């Protein structure tokens, strides 16, 4: 008798084969295939992940990308709180209550879309073949609707968060200048380096006092990481401490929309421009090199099982 892990592996193999077939047959009709999946994470909580995810999503959308946010902070789902919009359903409803991905997607400000993971992704590993395939079919619609999918995770070193990191195309790691936040970020990088030294981790320092402080942290973290963990970090940028961020949070609005001229907005735009730039040589957002949400989920199922 096959055990569950073996069964899932087989399903994923089948899905991969099918994906290759459908990719070649539709190649002429649909140029874009898979969305770029970017996981936003941190070692310590409360460092600004959700703020960065939401505002980065809007900045990328302003630059012409179709952006979807997946709220995967199961403990404290808070994209909806940040946006002041309460979604009716989560991915768990796709799994158990026959909802489609369209029922679960909400429209946010600035042309972005978001969906709540709920317990959906955690529950994936418990599903039978029929349910997994149904879920995969549903989730793959996200690839067609999005150029980039930003995933807002919880903090810390749980299996769940690790699998989100390992399965993504790219990782944005957020830290503040506080020593505890930096050491927790380093602990997370260390765990990633044990699994994959080639993993791309881009670091953002949030709530810095000034550019010097931020750059100093980015440099030191990069040096220590390449020396002791043999993993290359990529400094992505920083956001200074800005009272207007706190004000916008209280109004449940993204600061990029309420305070477009603020310091924080300027820095988020710098970061999004850098993300676009990194991509521009290959236009990586829409091409076949992206894992896409469908294979992202396959990888998650694999990672959580094996
Ligand atoms: N650049 C910043 N300047 C000032 N306050 C900030 C900044 N970034 C985040 N904050 C504050 O930190 C709190 C936590 O941010 P949040 O994005 O919810 O963090 P996380 O998602 O990592 O838990 C926010 O409510 C906000 O008040
Ligand atoms: Mg958060």
Structure tokens at 80: 């909806």
Beta carbons within 8 Å of 179's beta carbon, 6+ residues apart? none
Q: How far is the CA of 249 from the centre of ligand 1 (A)?
A: 8
Predicted local confidence at residue 80, as pLDDT: 87
How many domains does one find in the chain?
A: 1
- The pLDDT value given to residue 290: 77
C-alpha–C-alpha distance, residues 145 and 177, integer Å: 36
176 lines ligand 1 (CB under 6 A): no
Q: Is residue 150's pLDDT more than 90? A: yes
Residue 181 beta carbon below 6 angstroms from any ligand 1 atom:
no
Q: Measure 200 CA to ligand 2 centroid, in angstroms.
A: 22
pLDDT of residue 133: 78
Note whether 55 and 265 are within 8 A (CB). Answer: yes
Query: In the prediction, which pLDDT does 286 show?
Result: 42
* Nearest ligand 1 atom to alpha carbon 246: 27
- The whole domain housing 290 covers 4-305
- Report the pLDDT value the prediction gives residue 136, as an integer from 0 to 100: 80
Minimal-distance CA residue to ligand 1 atom 26: 246
The phi and psi torsions of 114 (rounded to 5 degrees) equal -145, 155
Which residues are bridge partners to 64 per DSSP? Answer: none
Q: 238: helix, coil or strand? A: strand
Spatial strand order of the sheet with 106-107 comes to 106-107, 113-116, 67-72, 148-153, 36-41, 170-175, 201-208, 233-240
> Is the CB of residue 245 below 6 angstroms from any atom belonging to ligand 1?
yes
- Choose the weakest-confidence range: 9-13, 85-89, 252-256, 293-297: 9-13
Q: How confident is the model over 158-171, as pLDDT tens digits?
A: 887 888 899 899 99
> How many whole angstroms from its chain centre is CA 237?
17
In this prediction, residue 252 carries a pLDDT of: 93
- Residue 301 vs residue 201, higher pLDDT: 201
- Ligand 1 atom closest to the CA of 46, numbered from 1: 23
Does residue 54's CB lie within 6 angstroms of at least one atom of ligand 1?
Answer: no
pLDDT more than 90, % of the chain: 54
Q: pLDDT: is 277 or 182 the higher one?
A: 182
Dist. CA 122–CA 133, nearest whole Å: 16
Q: CB–CB of 163/194 below 8 Å?
A: no
Instruction: Report the pLDDT value the prediction gives residue 274, as an integer from 0 to 100.
Output: 95
Residue 49 has pLDDT above 80, yes or no: yes
Q: Give mean pLDDT, residues 216-237.
A: 95
Higher pLDDT residue, 17 or 111?
111
Residue 208 beta carbon below 6 angstroms from any ligand 1 atom: no
Q: What is the structure's pLDDT at 14?
A: 59
Tell me which range, 2-6, 33-37, 171-175, is most confidently predicted by mean pLDDT: 171-175
pLDDT score, position 135: 80
Cα–Cα distance, 116 to 89 (Å, whole number): 7
Locus of tokens 């349910």: 131
Give the chain's mean pLDDT: 85
Q: What is the DSSP string of 99-164?
A: --HHHH-EE-GGG-EEEE-TTHHHHGGG--HHHHHHHHHHHHHHHHH-SEEEEEEPSS--HHHHHH
Residue 12 has pLDDT above 80, yes or no: no
| Percentage above 70 pLDDT, the chain | 81
Query: Is the CB of residue 184 below 6 angstroms from any atom belonging to ligand 1?
Result: no
Helix (H) or strand (E) holding 30: none
pLDDT for residue 16? 56
Copy the structure tokens of residue 85.
Answer: 């919009």
Q: Is residue 6 pLDDT above 90, yes or no?
A: no
pLDDT tier for residue 121 given thresholds of 50, 70 and 90: low
Q: Establish whether residue 146 lines the binding site of ligand 1, counting it when its CB lies within 6 angstroms of any ligand atom.
A: no
Distance 12 CA to ligand 2 centre (A): 31
- Is residue 249 lining ligand 1, measured as CB closer than 6 Å? yes
The CATH code of the domain that includes 90 is: 3.40.50.300
Minimum-distance ligand to the CA of 82?
Answer: 1
Residue minimizing CA distance to atom 27 of ligand 1: 246
Q: For the chain, how are helix, strand and coil distributed in percent, rounded to 5?
A: 55, 15, 30
67 in Cβ contact with 142 (< 8 Å) = no
Range scoring the smallest mean pLDDT among 10-19, 37-46, 110-119, 125-134: 10-19
Res. 149: pLDDT tops 70: yes
């Amino acid at each position: 008798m096959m055990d569950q892990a073996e069964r899932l592996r087989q399903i994923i193999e089948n899905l991969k084969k099918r994906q290759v077939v459908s990719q070649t047959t539709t190649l002429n009709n649909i140029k874009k295939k898979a969305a770029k999946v970017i996981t936003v994470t941190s070692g310590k909580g409360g460092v600004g992940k959700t703020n960065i995810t939401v505002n980065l999503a809007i900045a990328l959308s302003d630059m012409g990308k179709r952006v979807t946010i997946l709220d995967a902070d199961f403990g404290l789902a808070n994209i909806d709180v940040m946006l002041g919009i309460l979604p009716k359903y989560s991915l768990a409803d796709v799994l158990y209550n026959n909802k489609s991905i369209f029922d679960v997607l909400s429209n946010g400000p600035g042309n972005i879309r978001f969906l709540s993971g709920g317990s959906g992704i955690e529950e994936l590993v418990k599903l039978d073949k029929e349910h997994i395939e149904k879920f995969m079919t549903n989730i793959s619609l996200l690839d067609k609707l999005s150029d980039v999918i930003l995933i807002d995770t919880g903090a810390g070193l749980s299996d769940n968060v690790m699998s989100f990191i390992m399965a993504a195309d790219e990782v944005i790691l957020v830290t503040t200048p506080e020593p505890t936040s930096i050491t927790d970020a380093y602990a997370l990088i260390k765990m990633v380096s044990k699994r994959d030294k080639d993993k791309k981790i881009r670091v953002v320092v949030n709530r810095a006092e000034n550019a010097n402080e931020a750059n100093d942290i980015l440099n030191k973290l990069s040096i220590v990481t390449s020396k002791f963990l043999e993993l290359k970090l990529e400094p992505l940028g920083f956001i200074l401490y800005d009272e207007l961020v706190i004000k916008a949070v209280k109004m449940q609005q993204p600061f990029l929309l309420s305070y477009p001229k603020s310091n924080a907005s300027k820095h988020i735009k710098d970061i999004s421009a850098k993300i676009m730039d990194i991509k521009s040589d290959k236009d990586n957002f829409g091409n076949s090199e992206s894992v896409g949400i469908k294979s992202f989920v396959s990888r998650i199922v694999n990672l959580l099982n094996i």
